[in-house]
Amino acid sequence: MTSTFLSRRAFVGAALTAALLTSAASPVASAAIPSPTASSASVPLPPLDTAALRAAISDLDHPQATAAQLLVSGKAGQWYGATGVADRRTGAPVGQDDALRAGSITKVFVATAVLQLSAEGRVDLDKPIQDYLPGLLPDGYDPIKVSQLLNHTSGLPDEDIPDSERADTPEQILEHRYDQWTPMQLVATLPEEAPMKFAPGTKQEYRGMNYVLAAMLLEKVTGKPYGRAIGDRILRPLGLCRTSFPGDDPKIHGRHVHGYLAMSDGTLQDVTEYNQSEAWGEGEIISTTRDLDRFITALFTPGKVLPRTTLDKMFELPAPEVRMVDGSPARYSVGLQTVTVNGVPLWGKTGERYGYNSAVMATRDLGRRAVYSWTPTHRDASQVQMALRIADAVTKPAASR
């Protein structure tokens, strides 16, 4: 079977999840990685500049997109705006409750459910995943703690996909949009003989495979499909009625935002319908901006979703000597990523699927929350432009613009 999942995961890890973090080199925003201690304190927040927020999402030419929406909330002000259309065929406007593909934001839900099991004494974060899922990984792999999966310090080798089996053009992507993958097939792409990339816990590298394994752990411990376990534990208790895990259903049901992909000749093709089994456990979630705001608000409230001591683990970066494989500071905690923009420390997660780019971010004290989603037509580094504009508008005082 020809696969597109590997190239997509590599793109997410190398570009989109680092989009805000590259802002240190950009003239529009200053970013630095905060320490866990500093980022847990309240910071002064500027009043919202609604004109800047509107301008950030209104430019759908740089980069090319068909729609964008942004929800900002918290004690320092609230604002929602949308531009473009949810459906190019009908011209329907974008709505706050329109469903969208939120990609790797899936990982926050998986990590949260695993942490709940940890708080209940059913999962030991310091125990190797091989103890929970014996025989799944090659025998030669080093023991990998559950916590090392969740904070991307596992050291797993790269998946072994021949170049001849990768889909690189938009036409190839569409050709394989209905390919069906099982979790076991995904794990089977890990090479049997390859050495670990690094000793577990010594470096950090963002990898979707970490969360495929974490979702399999969730299923093993609960005895339920991981999406159903998250539904029972998180979605229904919080009233996230528009959030779901589609499995092998390629459609988005109900009102939703369509995603589009530019073909080699520049024409746009609707790519909304897509089998998400290639992103099982790590990038398949469907949600809305309103649901994601409700989720992060509850998640960051001690005792609402996680006990305080367990919640604190979500804001702990690895030890200072543990750095990304490129030498930059570690930026992923358990289920979250962190960045400071214009002096405002934010925690949350970005996500991407073909035709969709999203993020949910908040200060730890929930003084400022931001959820955005937009529909880029090209899978390339140009997507950083929108992320930087939004990050700057959400955090910078109006007088300093």
Question: DSSP labels for 352-388?
Answer: EETTEEEEEEE-TTSSSEEEEEEEESS-SGGGHHHHH
What's the pLDDT at 27?
Answer: 35
Q: Look up residue 259 and give its two tokens.
A: 């995603």
As a dihedral over the C-alpha atoms of residue 253, residue 257, residue 258, residue 264, rounded to 10 degrees, the angle is -150
Superfamily covering domain 5-400: DD-peptidase/beta-lactamase superfamily (3.40.710.10)
Instruction: Give Cα separations from 110 to 1, 82, 204, 220, 229 (angstroms).
Output: 27, 29, 19, 13, 9
Taking the CB of residue 53, how many other CB atoms lie within 10 A of it? 21
Gap between the Cα atoms of 173 and 355, Å rounded: 12
Report pLDDT for 41. Answer: 60
pLDDT (0 to 100) of residue 162: 65
Query: Six-digit token pair at 26?
Result: 């950009």
Kindly calculate the radius of gyration of the chain based on its CA atoms and give it in whole angstroms.
20
Question: CA 139, CA 54: separation in Å to the nearest integer?
Answer: 54
User: Using alpha carbons only, what angle is made at residue 14 by residues 94 and 69, rounded to the nearest 5 degrees?
Assistant: 10
HSE (side-chain half, CA atoms, 13 Å) at 216: 23
Q: Is 323 exposed, middle or buried (0-12, 13-18, 19+ CB in 10 A)?
A: middle
Q: What is the predicted pLDDT for the residue at 84?
A: 98
Q: Taking the alpha carbons of 23, 66, 378, 287 in that order, is the dihedral positive or negative?
A: positive
Cβ atoms 269, 260 nearer than 8 A? yes
Rounded Cα–Cα distance for residues 227 and 230 (Å)? 5
> In 3D, which of 359, 354, 348 has the Cα closest to residue 384?
359
pLDDT for the residue numbered 14 = 42
pLDDT tens by residue, 122-166 = 999 999 999 999 999 999 999 999 999 999 999 999 998 766 567
Could you list the beta-strand ranges (E) of 288-355. 323-324, 337-341, 344-353
**DSSP designation for 158:** P
Q: Which of 140, 253, 152 is nearest to 196 (CA)?
A: 140
Which regions in the chain score pLDDT beneath 70?
A: 1-41, 162-165, 399-401
CB 81 within 8 A of CB 54: yes
Q: pLDDT value at position 110?
A: 98
Q: Give the whole-angstrom CA distance, residue 163 versus residue 222.
A: 37
Predicted pLDDT of residue 42: 74
The label of the residue with tokens 């159903």 reads 228
Residue 238: how many CB atoms within 10 A of its CB? Answer: 17
Contact assessment for residue 62 and residue 75, using Cβ atoms and an 8 Å cutoff? no
CA distance 154 to 131: 15
Q: Cα–Cα distance between 342 and 389 in angstroms, integer? A: 12
